[in-house]
Structure 1
Amino acid sequence: MASVHPRKNRAGEITSYQVKWRDGGGRDGAWQSETFEDEVQAGVFKTAVDEAGNRWPPGWVKGRGYIVAEPAQPDEKYRFRNYATTMIENRTGIEERYRRDCIRDLKTYIFPTFGECDVRSTEHFSSDTIDAWLRKLELLWIWRGADKKRLSPKTVRNLHGLLSSVLERAVLAEPPLRSRNPCKLSNLPRADDQIDDEMCFMTPQEVDGLLRCFSVRQDQLLVTVAYGTGLRFGELTALMPQDIIDRDTGKVKLRVQRAWKRDEEGAYFLGPPKTKKARRTIRISAGVVEALDELGLYELGDDELFFTGAGGTRLHYSTFGDRWARAVRLARQAGVFTAGKKPTPHDLRHSHVAALISAGHGLPYVQRRVGHQSIQTTSDVYGHLLPEADDDAMATIEASLAGGRAPLRSVG
């Protein structure tokens, strides 16, 4: 079995990672090695070596990576590695953190296969070569220390989207470098099977039971506001009194106009929300208004935070997360949750959406309220609803079978 070894300089700093193995896996096999810039890339290659029976993975060229077909030495600016890197580095309207993540994913998952290819080539970039690359991603094991797991369907779809964006740019170039984008022919893995693992929907009764298990009043109010608005944690903890408008109209609204972000050094700062659609204004219920009132809606300064940590600073997710975990444990002991139900703070957002959909509110309204960039996201992600949705559906079907119509119910 191959192994990953950090390589250090004289100062003790890790400068690269070397994958080592004996050819064929036997004791008499000659030592083989390949070197990588970071641990993730090394882990990806280690998995490939193991799956190849402790031999060089098919198509891998030492020091260069996977070669789909020997390029006819494309112009350097059209070599995919250079073309994609330049495109991402010059892209406007994105955060630096996202730019770095794109470059990292290109180096780790896309360049090893397509890095030396010609972005103009229909031989190098075809539905067949892209399908073969997708299949490798689906079978890939990622190592994190002693643990390993497969890439999630969502990650595979994101990587495919990154590759597709580069090829689409080549199609739209002036003059065009390609006639079409072969990524549009791909059949991508479905993420549906992972929804149950990634999301945990809570009923209103479960949220109420969980509230009673918090010992800190601010935490109870945070849960109330989070469930009542569906805000992301970074949006929620950036709320200030200035964001609550139309207070005296009986139709109070909340403006989402900032969220906590991280800069290149990992430091937090207040910046615009996740996407353009995330910058939104939503109605809030009387219960949410009461919670904000108790938090200091009329006492705090307009630019002071509702939710803070020690010394009035940003409330860290991990700090609240520890108290959340304790409350969930107590709720489970009290019978609020079944043994297998393990909600996270973000599941308050999921539960907010599920409550709206199960009550009959349309997807366009839900999309605008929670700030999804696309209604397709709303539709794809929230296919699993609260139990009441099934009850309502069964009542409708039963009434139809009986020759009648189900009674209308209020959704306001």
Structure 2
Amino acid sequence: MATIFQKCKAKGDPCRRSRCGHSWTVRYREPGGRSGSQREKNFPTKREAQDYGIKAENDKREGKYLDPSAGKILVRDYAREWLSRRSIKETTRKNYKNFFENHLIPRLGSKMLCNVMSSDIEKMCQGMCEAGLSRRTVYQSNMVPLRSLFRSAVAEKRISESPVALASLPRLKTKRVDDKSLPGGEAVGAIASAMRGDLAVSVWLMAGCGLRIGEVLALRDTDIVEGAMRLRRQFVRVKRDGVWKAELSPLKAREEGEWRDVPVPSLVEHALRHHLRNHGVGADGYILHAHHGGHVLDSNYRTEFRSAVIKAGFAGESWTAHTLRHFFASSAIAGGLSLLEVSRWLGHATIQITADIYGHLTPDAGARMRSVMDGVLATTNVSRDDS
């Protein structure tokens, strides 16, 4: 149990005054019984000392005790150490490092981890906005590593609560897709026709299956079997020794070795057969490949796609290759397919992401609900003779 006393009364020449005004000390042991380290903390009043002693003992019993020294590490040191032991993609690591070095460390790096308050987080975010960063970058992209960092500190019992969770931060709504700004089926066909011949099949893969650019570029002919494709990897662009290169990486929101299956419409299957018959596969079996047989860089692909959009007569549209993914999702949902199925095919981390972006496109289910409930209640007599 914690001991509460005044050191002035325990000396060889103790203080004789009953209300001397000297501080009160709490002496307690850390978890571990007699092997636990002994600690002391001073308070101006006996009541505060008693309250702290009770809390310390309760925390030990409930497994919530925090070592006071555990949080006494500079934010910059903890952030760098935390990042070094994360098992994440190289591109993600680079983005986290940029945020830490350019924003978190200059503003909070010299503070002790245990001293970071919610107000510090709010001021840092406000400062980033004032420095020119968009609100979406500050309150959405940068919050991912920041929340993870302080969540880890809580899990490691360095701090009791995350200041990020306590901060009053605006919650940004995911930008909904404007289906009126998307191309129609004829426009998709026109873009495919205007695309370089050996890349045209990519338009059908993205518009008909909802693939990302990196997933299309990493697709092999062996990934497609009996009307379905199993996606296992994607190409991401990374900078190595000052040169941008494409490297294989796990799918977005997936770990190494995980995959997702996507149905292949018959029209897309036909386009694939036509492509393989006329262009074959690259050296490593990739469906899309450069003239020398190697893989296609995403930057080169984006340039080719934009040229095709202009050539097809849509120079005034801001369509990108990712627009075809929106075309797939919006068409599937508007056609009555469930958000759950579409979310799984798109490879979103959660169905909430799909709902935020495309949920407004779901057909009105009011008529279907009335029909279902009328059928369920058909045998129920709702009229009563009260006479």
Q: TM-score range by the shorter chain?
A: 0.5 to 0.7
Name the structure 1 match of 2:274. Answer: 294
1:120-158 per-residue CA deviation (whole Å, 9 max, x = no partner) reads 12xx322x22222222223331xxxxxxxx424145312
1:206 is matched with which residue?
A: 187
Partners in 2 of 1:317 and 1:163 — Cα distance? 29
From the two aligned structures, give the one with the greater helix fraction. 2
Matches within 5 A, 1:156-195: 156-173=139-156, 176-185=157-166, 186-192=168-174
Q: TM (normalized to structure 1)?
A: 0.64
**Residues 200 and 347, structure 1, Cα contact 8 Å, conserved in 2:** no
Separation of aligned partners in 2, 1:172 and 1:293? 52
Contact map agreement 2:153 2:159 (CA 8 A) in 1: yes
Aligned to 2:121: 130
- The structure 1 residue matched to 2:234, chosen from 244, 248, 259, is 259
Secondary structure of 1:310 counterpart: coil
1:367 aligned residue (335, 343, 351): 343
Question: How many residues matched?
Answer: 297
1:334-386 deviations in whole A, cap 9, x for unaligned? xxx8x4x310011111111111111122221111101111222222233564x
Unaligned runs of 5+ in 1: 1-73, 142-149, 406-412
Aligned to 1:66: none
Letter of the 2:84 counterpart: E
The aligned counterpart of 2:254 is 276
Match of 1:79 in 2: 74
Which secondary structure state, in structure 1, belongs to the residue aligned with residue 188 of structure 2?
A: helix
SS at structure 1 position matched to 2:312: helix
Quote the residue 1:379 is aligned against. Answer: 355
Cα distance in 2 between the residues matched to 1:327 and 1:130: 45
Structure 2 gap segments, 5+ residues each:
1-68, 373-387
Name the CA distance, whole Å, in 2 between partners of 1:342 and 1:264.
27
Residue 328 of structure 2 aligns with an amino acid whose one-letter code is H
1:100, 1:323 → 2: CA distance?
A: 28
CA distance in 2, matches of 1:200, 1:107: 38
Asked whether the equivalents of residues 209 and 331 of structure 1 are also in contact (C-alpha less than 8 Å), the reply is yes
Structure 2 CA distance for aligned equivalents of residues 404 and 270 of structure 1: 49
| 1:241 paired residue among 221, 237, 243 | 221
Note closer, same or farther for the CA distance 1:88–1:332 as it changes in structure 2 (3 Å cut): same
- The separation in 2 between residues aligned to 1:362 and 1:113, in whole angstroms, is 45
SS at match of 1:382: helix
User: What code does the residue aligned with 1:188 have?
Assistant: P
What are the within-5 Å matches in structure 2 for residues 36-75 of structure 1? Answer: none
Matched, 1:357 2:357: no
Contact 1:279–1:371 under 8 Å retained in 2: no
Partner-residue secondary structure (3-state), 1:281: strand
**Distance apart, 1:179 and its partner CA:** 1.6
TM-score, normalised to structure 2, is 0.68
Match of 2:296, SS state, is coil
Query: Do the aligned partners of residues 152 and 331 (structure 1) sit closer, same or farther apart at CA in structure 2, a change above 3 Å counting?
Result: farther
State the shift of 1:306 in Å.
0.9
Matched-pair contact (CA < 8 Å) for 1:367–1:375: yes
Q: Do structure 1's residue 315 and structure 2's residue 293 form an aligned pair?
A: no
The offset of 1:300, in angstroms, is 4.9
Q: Distance in 1 between matches of 2:275 and 2:186?
A: 23
Structure 1 residues 323 and 302: CA distance shift in structure 2, 3 A: closer
Q: 1:301 and 1:170, CA in 2 relative to 1: closer, same or farther beyond 3 A?
A: closer
Structure 1 residue ranges, 4+ long, deviating more than 6 angstroms after superposition: 74-77
Give, as a single letter, the amino acid of the residue that structure 1 aligns with 2:73: Y
Cα deviation for residue 86 of structure 1 reads 0.3
SS at structure 2 position matched to 1:372: coil
Amino acid in the other structure paired with 2:114:
R
Q: Give the SS at the match of 1:326.
A: helix
The higher radius of gyration belongs to: 2
Distance verdict in 2 for CA 1:220–1:179, change over 3 Å: same
CA contact (8 A) 1:282 1:369 kept: yes
1:242 touches 1:302 (CA, 8 Å); kept in 2? no
Alpha-carbon distance between aligned partners in 2 of 1:362 and 1:380, rounded to the nearest angstrom: 14
